[in-house]
Amino acid sequence: MTVQEITQALGLEVLSAGNPDASVEGCYICDLLSLAMSKVSEHDAWITVQTNINIVAIAVLTELSCVIIAEKMQVDESVLEKAREENVAVLRSDKSAFEIAMEIGNRL
């Protein structure tokens, strides 16, 4: 699936568009930034409640397809500006990380 297909299928809010055609091949749930950086795979959707600027850095370094913010957490505009600058897709849902992962897993 693509980021755009997952966005539409799950009804996600787009905070930063990134590359809507990027392939999503799996997902990873983690809120510990250092662990996410070492465990996430290229082309994953990373599901987290973290919203600081480091989510953008991790997305760029690991070549994630997108970052999905769970629980409708607020993301500072400066983080979103950096995400747009780096072409990182940041999406948001009011659902829990588990619910989001289950929906993605059922579609992959």
Give the DSSP H/E element, type plus range, for residue 15.
strand 13-16
- Residue 4's pLDDT is what? 98
- Residue 45's pLDDT is what? 97
- Residue 41's pLDDT is what? 92
Per-residue model confidence as pLDDT tens digits over 85-102: 999 999 999 999 999 999
pTM summary value: 0.96
User: What are the two backbone dihedrals, phi and then psi, of residue 14, each rounded to the nearest 5 degrees?
Assistant: -90, 115
Per-residue model confidence as pLDDT tens digits over 24-71: 999 999 999 999 999 999 999 999 999 999 999 999 999 999 999 999
